[in-house]
């Protein structure tokens, strides 16, 4: 009777750039862009929220909801990349999820900014909120474009001839 012995070797490598935090992401282009988005959305929300005189309740409530929702969503994405959580939840396609949030966010923040600009009637805090909404829209459009190039960009194809 013959016996077969199978030996397996497991090699564990650790990254040299750290453990729990990915602070390199905060210095990358995508990280700085996400920080700028979060800050501009927060400023836009606070400008409208802290103004005591609203000219149109439903328009500015919509603006608040949209800016606060995407502020929280992009803050979660930022923290997820800083704490390296996207690798711990591989069942979700994070690149596609982020692309869809950018697409929807760009459209909704743009609409909310237009409505806020039209309904502000010269009240400086409401005008400032709509301006920061337009800045956020521009930053979201840049992220949408770069995310599109990663998610849906040209895939190398090879055809056997």
Domain count, the chain: 1
Identify the band that residue 1 occupies on the pLDDT scale cut at 50, 70 and 90. Answer: low
Identify the band that residue 67 occupies on the pLDDT scale cut at 50, 70 and 90. Answer: very high
Pair of tokens at residue 139: 């930053």
Q: Is residue 4 part of a domain?
A: no
Domain of residue 125, residue span: 23-151
> Which pTM value belongs to this model?
0.79
Q: Is residue 59 part of a domain?
A: yes
Q: Is the pLDDT of residue 15 over 50?
A: no
Give the residue with greater pLDDT, 23 vs 140.
140
Q: What is the mean pLDDT of residues 68-88?
A: 93
Q: Is residue 81 part of a domain?
A: yes
Q: Give the residue among 81, 78, 76, 73 at the shortest CA–CA distance from 106.
A: 73
Q: Give the residue among 31, 53, 33 at the shortest CA–CA distance from 41.
A: 33
Q: Is residue 18 part of a domain?
A: no
């Amino acid at each position: 009777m013959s016996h077969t012995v199978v030996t397996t070797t497991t090699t564990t490598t650790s990254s040299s750039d750290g453990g729990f935090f990915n602070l390199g992401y905060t210095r990358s282009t995508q990280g700085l862009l996400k920080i700028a988005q979060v800050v501009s959305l927060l400023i836009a929300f606070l400008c409208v929220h802290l103004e005591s005189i609203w000219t149109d309740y439903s328009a500015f409530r919509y603006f608040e909801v949209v800016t606060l929702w995407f502020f929280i969503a992009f803050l979660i994405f930022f923290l997820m990349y800083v704490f390296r959580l996207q690798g711990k939840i591989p069942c979700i396609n994070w690149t596609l999820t982020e692309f869809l949030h950018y697409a929807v966010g760009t459209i909704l923040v743009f609409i909310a900014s237009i409505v806020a600009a039209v309904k502000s009637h010269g009240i400086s805090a409401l005008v400032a909120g709509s301006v920061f909404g337009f800045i956020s829209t521009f930053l979201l459009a840049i992220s949408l474009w770069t995310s599109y190039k990663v998610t849906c960009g040209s895939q190398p194809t090879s055809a056997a001839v």
